[in-house]
Every structure is written in structure tokens, then in C-alpha cells.
Amino acid sequence: MRELDVNRLRVLVEVAHAASIAEAARRLAFTPSALSQQIAKLEAELGARLLERRPTGVTLTPVGQVLVGHGERVLGELRQARAAVEAALGNQPQRLALGTFATAGQVLVPAALAALQRRHPRAELSLLDLEPPDGYGLVAAGDLDALITHRYPGVPPTPHPGLDRQALLSDPLVLALPGGHALADAPPGGIRLDRLGGETWISGAPGIPNRICLETLAGQAGIAPHVAYESADYHVILALVGAGLGIALVPRSVLAGAAHPGLAVHHLRDLAPARAVSILHRRRPPALVRELTAYLLSAGKDAAGHARLRP
């Protein structure tokens, strides 16, 4: 078998990230037909289909998934090699591209990026909003220098070969009730989950991490939660709870920094579930990533301290 063409590999990785040949072509400044030809040549070289073409876009075949995983790491190594050469020549520009999910973008990122920008005023910093588990491939391929992600209880870990993970924050999950709920004034010791079997719940859609977490914890408590309202946005979830439409399990960090009238917040008794927040980057990260990680760790300690002060 001939060696793989790196440029065709780059095309495949970009198409996988975009989930669309047309969008990948736009990003790479090619025509869609030119990209389709490159994919067809790569498939012919390998003797296997790499993409499934659908009306809504493209998805990877099992063989395509394997190749993209390796391709992301190959492209990341090439980018690191280029950066190392530029650094040796003394002309490497300072850049950092960070991916994050919404809550971390509010609670952890602003102070950390501001501190990094003050220390390196000429550095080019950028931010991309991503919901886990998205973004791992972008870090592996070098499109992102670092990714802040999370993992809820009950959600299996995402494989991340070639990447290092560092914990930033353990974000406790708490019970949000309408202020007029019968358990709103429950004692400080918390509320047992098995007391909530007949409640109406507000959570993400099936398969979303917070829904998986809710169903996992509820199953352990011997109840089946009735989820009537689905939203991926915690601001919407809290608004629905405040309107008296149901109850929700939410990360305590989403309650930080603002008043939430009409809500009662309680711990789950005999449970201490938490959303694990971490940062991922390639091995041998550049200095900017190491400095950013230190600032984020400091922000995480501050956020945890503020969270402990909340009821």
C-alpha cells in the first residue's frame, strides 16, 4: 500500500470536523467538487469507503473514523514541528486557540484569558464555543491549543490518545426547586433522590450528558424520572424551574454571579454528584498553554470557594 497523501488526509479531517463537504471546502478555500475528488482518490488508494453521504451532510464510516483519529494526530504533530522550527528561528508568533463549553466560558475563562493577555499583550488569543464531547479532534489536529471540557457521572470517558488532561474544578450538582415547592424549605441536610419519583423534571434531551447523569442517579435510587421539558440551556432550565414547571439537577456553577428569585437550592442527601471540569491539550504544550492552565486552576479554586459559600 502506498503512503498516504498528507494533503488528502487534511481534507478528510476537515470534512469530518465540518460534517459537510461544502463547509469544509469553504474553510479550505476549495470548491466542493475538488474536495470530493480528493476524498474519492483517498478512498481508491485505501480500497474502502470513508464517508457516508446524506442529504444533511456526511458521516464517517468505521474505517473513516479510524483514519481521522490517526490523521488528527499526524496533523497535530506536523503543526508542532512547524512551530518548533519557527521558535528555533526566533520568529514564532504567540497564538492560543481555546475551546470551552458555556458555563466554563462564564465562570473560568474570562479572568484567565484577561490575565494571560495582560502578561502577553501581543499574543493572539481566540475562543471557540463547544459542547462536550466535541473538540477532542480539534485539539489532536492542532486547530485548538487547549479544550475545557466536562464529564458528568454516568457518562463514559471520551478516548483521547495523544492528549493530556488536567482537572480544573469539581462542580457539585444540586437540586433546583420552585420556591413554592413542598420541599423548598427542607432541612439543610439535603433531599433524598428517592423522594422525587413523582416529580416533573427538566433536563437535556436523551443522550445529552446531564440527562444521562440524571437517569443514572435516579436508577441507582430506584426511580424513573419523568422529563417533560427538555433544553440544553441551563438558563432556560432555571427559568422553567422558577416558573414552577418542574425541578432540575444543575451544576452549582450555573447559579454563580446572579440572583435566582423563585428558586430553592438543595443538596442531594447521601449523594455528592459533581461534574468534573478539566482542560485537555497536546503533550509538550507551548508556554502559553501552560500559563493559561495555571490561571484556569486559580480561577477554578476561586469558583469552588464561592460555591461552598452558597446555600
- When pLDDT is cut at 50, 70 and 90, the band that residue 240 belongs to is very high
Interval 132-159 mean pLDDT: 92
User: Residue 236 pLDDT > 90, yes or no?
Assistant: yes
- When pLDDT is cut at 50, 70 and 90, the band that residue 25 belongs to is confident
Highest mean pLDDT: which range of 40-44, 83-87, 260-264, 279-283: 279-283
Q: Rounded to whole angstroms, how far apart are CA atoms 179 and 222? A: 26
User: Residue 305 pLDDT > 70, yes or no?
Assistant: no
Q: Which fold has domain 6-71?
A: Arc Repressor Mutant, subunit A (1.10.10)
> What is the model's pLDDT at position 310?
41
As given in the structure block, the three cell numbers for residue 247 are 425541578
Highest mean pLDDT: which range of 18-27, 52-61, 137-146, 242-251: 242-251
Burial class (CB within 10 angstroms; exposed 0-12, middle 13-18, buried 19+) of 179: middle
> What is the model's pLDDT at position 227?
97
pLDDT in tens, 196-210: 999 999 999 999 999
DSSP string, 12-46: HHHHHHHT-HHHHHHHHT--HHHHHHHHHHHHHHH
Tell me the pLDDT of the chain averaged across its residues.
89
Cα 70 from chain centroid (whole Å): 21
CATH annotation of 92-169+275-309: 3.40.190.10
> What is the model's pLDDT at position 158?
87
User: Residue 212 pLDDT > 90, yes or no?
Assistant: yes
Identify whether 133 is preceded by a cis peptide bond (ω within 30 of 0).
yes
Interval 301-306 mean pLDDT: 72
At 176, which helix (H) or strand (E)?
strand 163-178
Which residues of the chain does CATH 1.10.10.10 include?
6-71
Which residues of the chain does CATH 3.40.190.10 include?
92-169+275-309, 171-273
Burial class (CB within 10 angstroms; exposed 0-12, middle 13-18, buried 19+) of 91: exposed
> What is the model's pLDDT at position 311?
39
Interval 216-240 mean pLDDT: 95
Q: Percent of the chain at pLDDT above 90?
A: 57
Helix axes 287-309, 109-119, angle to 10 degrees: 140
Q: How many residues does the chain have?
A: 311
Interval 21-31 mean pLDDT: 85
Name residue 265's beta-bridge partners: 176
Q: Rounded to whole angstroms, how far apart are CA atoms 252 and 267? A: 10
Q: Which CATH class is domain 171-273?
A: alpha beta
